[in-house]
Amino acid sequence: MELTNTPHLASSSFFFSSCSPCACRSRRTGKAVITAFAAGSRCSADSIYACPEPIEQHNVDSLSVASGPANTQCYRRRDFAAVALLPFLLPHVDMASAADSYDGSIIQNGVRNVLSKVKAAGVLRLVFHDAGTFDISDKSGGMNGSIIYEADRPENAGLSKSLKILRKAKEGINQVQQVSWADLIAVAGAEAVALCGGPEIPIRLGRLDSSTADPTGKLPEETLDVVALKTSFGKKGFSAHPCLLGRTQEMVVLSGAHTIGGKGFGNPNAFDNAYFKVLLEKPRPTSSGMPIGLPTDWALTEDDECLRWINIYAKDQDKFFADFRDAYTKLVNSGASWRTA
């Protein structure tokens, strides 16, 4: 696992762009790497994990926890979160105090203390129901922790248990440093994926929480056909862009999260590409006489473009993992507001 404290430069466009390299310093202990980047610079990454940034909601001083391979030019140092100071177009901001006071490994460890494979699907579902309220037209909703006010809504049935699990983690983390619900849920979802054997996903930190519930009716309904699903994803900012994936591809790859949990797609505790393999089975399979999955899962098979990606991911799990990592990163940054130092 890699832990990266990464300041980002505000973008002039809502659409997401990949990041350019910057110098850094890091401390490596086993697989853990803690890195502090220069203030005012973008994080060093390639297209494997781009850093989506919502318009007008950036700060120089946001941090990130990365649970994937770092593509930085680093040199080892024992001191935690040392900051390389580089001149940039923006006024200089000293990141040392912010980096020192926000240790991503504390959040990860807090989540790991309460998370298990049988709880992973519910925790991952929290991410989709918090971030999935984002509406690009008015920039409402998104990854803002408002799910804590929305647990009694019909579409969020069952999520109270997952919130209770993360509340326990939050109480422990807050004894050391404060963590927002938005950051906690984003990290917990990534940890749930990794725990079940899925890809390790870098998570940018520094999200602010909403103090109110998001508007109702923003989540896609389980009965939507594929045309309505595409429209719904388009409203959430999932559209074609050269630095990430296309709307249909992102919709299909994120639906692959149903591979874990009780929807009947293979091993409920294994994050793999079984979801896509099951969708290709003819006739439509059942589990103990009960239908597998949701109507929206099978709606994907009725669209040629979706079916093309289902076939690709059914044959290539590594491709599924890489694309899921990118789409998840985009999802948990959607609509987020970011803290300053």
Residues catalogued as catalytic = 129
Residues 6+ apart with CB under 8 A from 262: 121, 268
Which run of H or E residues covers position 160?
Answer: helix 159-174
Residue 36 bridge partners (DSSP)? 5, 25
Secondary structure (3-state) at 40: coil
Count Cβ neighbours within 10 Å for each residue of 244-263 and write b for 16 or more, e otherwise.
bbebbbbbbbbbbbbbbbeb
H or E element at residue 27: strand 24-29
24-29 and 3-5 strand pairing: unpaired
CA 91 to the chain's CA centroid: 30
Question: In a 3-state reduction of DSSP, which class is residue 232?
Answer: helix
Contact predicate 6/62, CB 8 Å: yes
